[in-house]
A and B are shown apart, each in its own frame.
Chain A
């Protein structure tokens, strides 16, 4: 069974451009989470999608947005890129959001570099 897949693996953009990152959850998982991991910092929660809806977002500006498609895959868009957006972006999925026994399964991440 395939795990969480993310694409692209690496993405290089210049300041002011837009970046689109993609994530496919494990088959059967309906919840998708996005995290940002900047160099030397911990994982910061970005967005949570469940059943096609944005359920919550972390403390990030509106230029960070996304969506979840009917097949539960997800897209993260970052507009007007800034240098400090350079980070590893990790996507995770879980079967549901509410169960006490839900494990988070992570993809390998997209390394975004803003020049």
Chain B
């Protein structure tokens, strides 16, 4: 059974700091891994999707990496801003409907 774990559960950093969010999964047989952002009481916004054959994806200040063999992904946020404050979720797609979500990392960027 696929399990997705995100560490840390919460993180508070000063504005401008670079940071890394971690995601681990137990079964390496995945189709892709997707990182989402969720603001309080809102839906999820897709940030990056990494296919199983890829090692990383970049979008602006965000960079996501994938190491399938070790069951790990990281989301790197450069030069953090207060507007980055949100909960970040990683989700592993094991095929079809089977997208398994982590519990998320709640990020707070202090101005």
Q: Are A100 and B43 neighbours in the complex by a CB distance under 8 Å?
A: no
Residue B18 lies at the interface, judged by CB distance under 8 Å to chain A: no
Select one of A35, A100, A106 contacting B32, CB under 8 A: A100
Query: Hey, which chain A residues are within 8 Å of B36, CB to CB?
Result: 106
A100 contacts B101, C-beta separation under 8 Å? no
Number of interface residues of A (CB under 8 A): 28
Measured CB to CB, the nearest residue on chain A to B42 is A108
Q: How far is the CA of A100 from the CA of B33 in the complex (A)?
A: 10
- B26 contacts A by Cβ under 8 Å: no
- The answer to whether A108 and B96 touch across the interface, beta carbons within 8 angstroms, is no
A sample of 6 more A-B contacts (CB under 8 A), given A42-B104, A56-B96, A102-B93, is A35-B101, A56-B97, A98-B96, A101-B51, A104-B34, A106-B45
Counting residue pairs across A and B whose Cβ atoms lie within 8 Å, the total is 63
> Do A48 and B89 touch (CB < 8 A)?
no
B103 on the A face (CB < 8 A): yes
For the complex, is B78 an interface residue (Cβ under 8 Å from A)?
no
Whether A43 lies near B42 (C-beta < 8 A) is no
Binding site for A on B (CB under 8 A): 31-32, 34, 36, 41-46, 49, 51-53, 89, 91, 93, 95-99, 101-104
Q: Which residues of A contact B (CB under 8 A)?
A: 4, 6, 31, 33, 35, 41-43, 45, 48, 55-56, 88, 90, 92, 97-98, 100-109, 111
CB pairs A–B below 8 angstroms (27 shown): A33-B99, A42-B104, A43-B89, A43-B101, A45-B97, A45-B99, A48-B96, A55-B96, A56-B96, A88-B41, A90-B43, A92-B44, A100-B31, A100-B32, A100-B52, A100-B53, A102-B32, A102-B93, A103-B46, A104-B44, A104-B46, A104-B91, A106-B36, A107-B43, A108-B43, A109-B41, A111-B41
